[in-house]
Chains A and B, each alone.
Chain A
Amino acid sequence: MGVRFSPLALRLWQTRPDRIGIPKGLGGRVLSLAPRFLTLPRLRCYDQSMRKIFSFLVFLALPALLALPVGASSQQAYQDYLYQFDVYRTMYRDFQTARGEFLKFQTLTSQTTALTKTKAMLTQRAMLLHTYLLLLGERLNEDQGLTPEEHLLYRSQLTAELAFLDRQKVSAAAPATLADATNHSKELEERYPKLYAIMREIASELVRGNSLASVRTFDQLFGNAKTIAMDNRNLFPPEKQVTIDRWIVQIATKRTSLQQTLDTFAQTDQTMGKAATQSEIDRWVSESAKSAASAKQQLVELTANLGELAAALQYQY
């Protein structure tokens, strides 16, 4: 005797996904990407539950699969910069060779070759600087130490310089003579001190931002340690309380000294950004490096002191 199915069962079988097309809704669209075997006869008895489970798990996994580390874009930007630098070096060597031949032989052929190589080098030079500024922009995006106002300031500076370099890239193909190419190059030469100052300032500020992010973490932990110490003060004998108080005062004093170092660091970078010549800028770069080293040393000592405070809280006597 054969089995008779109810009209509902038959209707459900007739309206399975391959019959009605792509189901509506995001879950259905995701499920439409699922292998067709989900509609195999063996699985059709729990189609609905499997569909829901599969959709849910795909939604859970997709963000993780698509998630990229924050540093990935700056790593890519750095690789791009290194590549453009290699290309620039090659083009600059070709330019030097062509320039040498032109200056030596002064023929029309050598002049034409020199002009071609010069224009190619000028274009690549603008591209190289453009790529470097993009690298600074990516690192600025990843920074977690600088204030939003500082981020805004540096991004606006980068935007202005990127626009200038874009114009340089386009206009580098225009010169018809070596004199025109020289005049074109002079536009970058005159702007370069300001551009160099901005590049150095932002690079130094990114180092300061790294320090600031660690200092912020330290401040949170120090605050937590002080709260724990104050809330549980009565658990310790009076002598131990004096020791704990002494550690807290010492750490607070050193923290004030660190803040002065960080403020000096910031002022040095600001002065660097306004310097007029490359040699002056390089001098401020050295000063900033000293501030960075001093800030790091102080932060290491502070962290060690906080460790001593935690050790004091850990033991009864």
Chain B
Amino acid sequence: MEEQLPQPDIATPQPTPVEENVSEQRLTNPLPGWLPTAGVILLILISIFAITNVRRSAAPATPGPAPSAVPSVRSNQPLSPLATQSAFLSLQASLATLSAHVTTLSTQDSTLTPPTLDLPLGFTQ
């Protein structure tokens, strides 16, 4: 097997196998090693940017939640043990989102108004 494969002719201590069919372009113009890594990172950043833009364009502008009719002055009251539970905190966050969403619900969608047409041609006299 060793007799069939030509041994490369190396002149420097750094082993670089040499073959007759190696592309000269690659050997004479090596690109920096960090370039593919940078390319991958750039791809990830572009995808993150695309996702955030998609969510931003899909989500309508939501105003802040409207205060309730009875203001709750409870700043001096002790919190219940529920106040720090994850289920309760999740409920509060979802409730804030829903509250902001329902205030922007449309009761009439003007983009879905059908076109107004004059149907009879009017050629009969």
Interface residues in chain A, defined as those with a beta carbon under 8 Å from any beta carbon in chain B: 2-5, 7, 9-11, 13-14, 18, 34-43, 50, 53-54, 57-58, 60-61, 64-65, 67-71, 78, 85, 88, 92, 99, 102-103, 114, 118, 125, 128-129, 132, 135-136, 139, 178-179, 181-182, 185, 188-189, 192, 196, 199-200, 203, 206-207, 210-211, 214, 217-218, 221, 224-225, 228, 232, 235-236, 289, 292-293, 296, 299-300, 303-304, 306-308, 310-311, 313-317
Among B11, B13, B108, B113, max chain A CB count under 10 A is at B108
Q: How far in angstroms is the closest Cβ of chain A from B113?
A: 7
Interface residues in chain B, defined as those with a beta carbon under 8 Å from any beta carbon in chain A: 1-2, 5, 7-11, 13, 15-17, 19, 23, 26-27, 30-31, 33, 35-36, 39-40, 43-44, 46-48, 50-51, 54-55, 57-58, 65-66, 68-70, 72, 74, 77-83, 85, 87-88, 91-92, 94-95, 98-99, 101-103, 105-109, 111-115, 117-125
A192 to B46, CA, bound (A): 49
Quick one: which of B8, B102, B124 contacts A296, CB cutoff 8 A? B102
Residues on the A chain within 8 Å of B77, using CB:
315-317
Do A315 and B91 form a contact, CB below 8 Å, given A3-B15, A65-B47, A69-B57? Answer: no
Query: A58 touching B43 by the CB < 8 A rule?
Result: yes
Residues on the A chain within 8 Å of B83, using CB:
314-315
The 8 lowest CB-CB distance pairs between A and B, nearest first, are: A64-B47, A69-B58, A203-B112, A292-B107, A61-B47, A3-B15, A37-B31, A293-B107
Do A303 and B99 form a contact, CB below 8 Å, given A43-B33, A88-B115, A203-B112? Answer: yes
Query: A99 touching B123 by the CB < 8 A rule?
Result: yes
A39 to B100, CA, bound (A): 54
Q: Across the two chains, which residue of chain A brings its CB closest to B99?
A: A303
Quick one: which of A41, A43, A225, A304 contacts B68, CB cutoff 8 A? A304
Q: Across the two chains, which residue of chain A brings its CB closest to B112?
A: A203
A231 to B9, CA, bound (A): 80
Residues on the A chain within 8 Å of B35, using CB:
37
Q: Across the two chains, which residue of chain A brings its CB closest to B60?
A: A71
Residues on the A chain within 8 Å of B17, using CB:
5, 9-10, 13
